[in-house]
Amino acid sequence: MSTPGRGLHGHVLDTLGPEITAGEYPPGSVLRTDELAQRFDVSRSVMREAVRVLESMYLVESRRRVGVTVRPKSEWNVYDPQVIRWRLAGSDRPWQLRSLTVLRSAVEPVAAGLAARHATAEQCAELTECALGMVAHSRGHKLEGYLLHDVAFHRVILEASGNEMFARLGDVVAEVLTGRTQHDVMFEDPDPAAVTLHVQVAEAVRAGDSARAEELTREITVGALQELDILAP
């Protein structure tokens, strides 16, 4: 899924990216290209390419006579999949998961509503299949299989919305769901109510009931928020 060590500059990014996104260099810190090249034992050309990528992620800014300065967190392109992965692997993972879950709570209900109008017959079938797969793996510590279908379910919803911006969040949702299962909560079987909701969403989409699909999905995301103690009083 990721883009590991694609060439030397990729290897450099695999180390430097996480360091920066972890906040190891405070905003305004200055990195020198030559020093970095020495540190990673690569040529200046390779180092420059890596810096260009970091620059395009708004993580750093390169200025003459000054060096490569780290930009404040508020300017980072937090939607870059690579940046998201780096941050999820770092120390502010909990914070990152919260931000992404809130984003989900905003996007997924609307996406489900749109999916109810735009989904093809094939997508409806896929959705039902995913929901049934979740039911089948909802008991007896089959978390792995459950996760697989859960991820696929939300991916289809986002895809079927017909909105490209929503569709591209499939990877993000996958990361959140995967992370949640593997590291944080959910040591036991998933909440039966959540499973039921997924089945009902699939049915609502199939029936073309936009409002119902949206509302049911909102309930799902509210559950996700509650799992992280993000209240909505």
Phi-psi group of 43: left, alpha or beta (phi > 0 → left; psi -120 to 50 → alpha; rest → beta): beta
Q: Output 48 or 117, the one with its CB closest to DNA.
A: 48
User: Does residue 38 interact with DNA by CB under 7 A?
Assistant: no
CB of 164 to a copy of itself, least distance (A): 5
Which structure tokens are listed for 124?
A: 């409806």
Bridge partners for 162 per DSSP: none
DSSP string, 25-70: S-TT-EE-HHHHHHHHT--HHHHHHHHHHHHHTTSEEEETTTEEEE
Q: Which residues have a Cβ under 8 Å from the Cβ of 112 and sit 6 or more positions away?
A: 157, 161, 201, 204, 205, 213, 214, 216, 217
By beta-carbon proximity to a copy of itself, the closer residue of 78 and 148 is 78
80 binding a copy of itself? (CB under 8 A): yes
Nearer to a copy of itself (CB atom), residue 4 or residue 140: 4
Number of residues lying near a copy of itself (CB under 8 A):
36
Kindly state the tokens that stand for 76: 């980072």
Q: Does 34 bind DNA (CB under 7 A)?
A: yes
Q: In degrees rounded to 5, what are phi and psi of residue 79?
A: -95, -5
Contacting DNA (CB under 7 A), which of 2, 3, 15, 43? 43
Closest by Cα among 93, 30, 44, 23 to 12? 44
One of 22, 78, 174, 186 touching a copy of itself (CB under 8 A): 78
Does residue number 175 form part of the binding site for a copy of itself (CB under 8 A)? no
Question: What's the min distance (Å) between Cβ of 68 and a copy of itself?
Answer: 13
- Residue 66 C-beta: closest distance to DNA, Å: 5
Asked if residue 193 binds DNA (CB under 7 A), the reply is: no
Nearer to DNA, 44 or 141 (CB): 44
| Per CB under 7 A, 70 contacts DNA | no
Would you say 119 and 127 are in contact if contact means Cβ atoms under 8 Å apart? yes
Binding string, residues 45-64; x marks residues near DNA by CB under 7 A: xx-xx-x----------xxx
Please state at what angle helix 81-88 crosses helix 93-118, rounded to 10 degrees.
140
Q: How far apart are CA 222 and CA 219, in angstroms?
A: 5
Residue 23 φ/ψ region, left for φ over 0, alpha for ψ in the -120 to 50 degree band, beta for the rest: left
Residue of 22, 89, 103, 132 interacting with a copy of itself (CB under 8 A):
103
Provide the binding-site residues for DNA, judged by CB under 7 A: 7-9, 31-34, 41-46, 48-49, 51, 62-68
Sites of contact with a copy of itself (CB under 8 A): 9, 45, 48-49, 52-53, 55-58, 73-74, 76-82, 99-100, 102-103, 105-107, 109-111, 114, 163-168
